[in-house]
Amino acid sequence: MIAMALAGNPKILIADEPTTALDVTVQKSILDLLRSLISKYNMSMVFISHDLGVVKSLADYLVVMKSGDIVEKGEAKKVLENPQHEYTRGLLNCKPIPGVKLSRLRTLTSKDEPRIISNTFEYHTPLISVNHLQKTYVSSKGLLKKEVREVRAVNDVSFEIMQGETLGLVGESGCGKSTLSRMFLGLIPATGGEVIYEGKNILSSNSAEWKTLRKDLQIIFQDPYSALNPKHTVGDILMEPLSVLSLKNSNEERKQRVLELLDQVGLPKESLNRYPHEFSGGQRQRIVIARALSVEPKFIICDESVAALDVSVQAQVLNLLNDLKRDLGLTYLFISHDLSVVYQMSDRIMVMNKGQIEELNAAWEIFYNPQSDYTKQLLASTI
């Protein structure tokens, strides 16, 4: 995309959120590339982003926009060090700050002051035990499909998820996070190993058993739009799991449950008869969360669930997830490439690299006392 943009020797390059969906290490290399291209070809760049950390590392001059108006502009350094407008200050406050754990992230509307909480919970009962889990993808290549390529996406991984904790899983894209999470729910078959839940290896479940297990184990993906059928109303979307799993018998009961769910995730009752495209990205992610909650699960995997949202909305959704966890006694496996987000959410953090676990420890330890070189490297590239 960058090569295409440069093909006509432009004087101005407009980059609209070019790194938003990338993990920190890839993001850093793209930003370095843009920086060097600008100076090499003597171009100007308009760099659009919601991420002040990125803007800080790049911009000479900064313009802050809100609802179509410019609320503040000036030399980037001055604006960031001494923001004049309330909105700019709000933006600076709602990004998880590496190493600072707040009981609630600030959102742009929230008035309550953040409090620092200590991370001293102790968990003793494992909800899920993972033993020597493996996944090797085999694909054939070449004209005659004779050459076989093997990718060890998850390579002999063992750990426990404790009842009531949020276990963070962090690592660069391609390290195997999604492969790991999908095996938990039987969405892809494992090559080896076991996942023990309620005394049983769930990986050997048949389809009827998986149906029952899905009442307990749910997943929330990154992209709320592709996860929601655009032709169905929100009401239909939320009622479907209830009827598939025969959880509520009458239509009236199902409707009551759906209204309760909308309330839990902070959406108005009227959402019932509306379609997914009528909602914003953050609201759509709330719908996806409501659908996951509809079956009253015990365990939810959040796989990059806030990666596509801007920082302010991201903070709202993270707060919602934490509130729900507390109110409903949930256990989370929280997956992200963003170490600051994982730190904010997690009791313990597992660092994954090339299909293996580099390090698993209390969140605080991972952040302030990392043992493996890989974790140290990941921390160093966290903006």
Q: Of 348, 342, 339, which Cα lies nearest the Cα of 321?
A: 342
Q: Of the listed pieces 92-100, 119-127, 178-186, 243-251, which binds Mg ion according to CB under 5 A?
A: 178-186
Of residues 93, 155, 166, 178, which one binds Mg ion by CB under 5 A?
178
Contact 332, 338 (CB under 8 A): no
Q: Of the listed pieces 27-35, 106-114, 168-176, 343-351, which binds ligand ADP according to CB under 6 A?
A: 168-176
Number of residues that bind Mg ion (CB under 5 A): 2
Q: What residue has token string 């590392």?
A: 57
Q: Of the listed pieces 49-57, 59-67, 173-181, 218-226, which binds ligand ADP according to CB under 6 A?
A: 173-181
Q: Of the listed pieces 14-22, 46-54, 96-104, 170-178, which binds ligand ADP according to CB under 6 A?
A: 170-178
Q: How far is the CB of 93 from Mg ion (least distance, A)?
A: 28
Shorter beta-carbon distance to ligand ADP: residue 114 or 174: 174
DSSP 277: G
Q: Using H for helix, E for strand and C for coil, what is the string for 308-344?
A: CCCHHHHHHHHHHHHHHHHHHCCEEEEEECCHHHHHH
Residue nearest to Mg ion (CB): 178
User: Could you tell me what percentage of the chain is helix, strand and coil, using 3-state DSSP and rounding each to the nearest 5?
Assistant: 40, 25, 35
Pairing label, strands 166-170, 348-353 = parallel
The torsion angles phi and psi of 281, rounded to 5 degrees, stand at -55, -45
Shorter beta-carbon distance to ligand ADP: residue 178 or 375: 178
Shorter beta-carbon distance to ligand ADP: residue 153 or 379: 153
Shorter beta-carbon distance to Mg ion: residue 101 or 177: 177
- Angle at the Cα of 336 (from 335 to 342), degrees rounded to 5? 90
Shorter beta-carbon distance to Mg ion: residue 178 or 319: 178
Shorter beta-carbon distance to ligand ADP: residue 156 or 323: 156
Dump the DSSP string for 92-151. Answer: HHSSPPTT--BSS---SS--SPP-B--------SEEEEEEEEEEEEEEEESTTS-EEEEE
Q: How far is the CB of 16 from ligand ADP (least distance, A)?
A: 24
Of residues 19, 88, 155, 178, which one binds ligand ADP by CB under 6 A?
178
Show the binding pattern over residues 114-153: x = contacts ligand ADP (CB under 6 A), - = does not.
-----------------------x-x-----------x-x
Which long-range CB contacts under 8 A does 246-255 form with residues at least 24 apart? 247/215, 247/294, 247/295, 247/296
Residues that bind ligand ADP (CB under 6 A): 137, 139, 151, 153, 171, 173-179
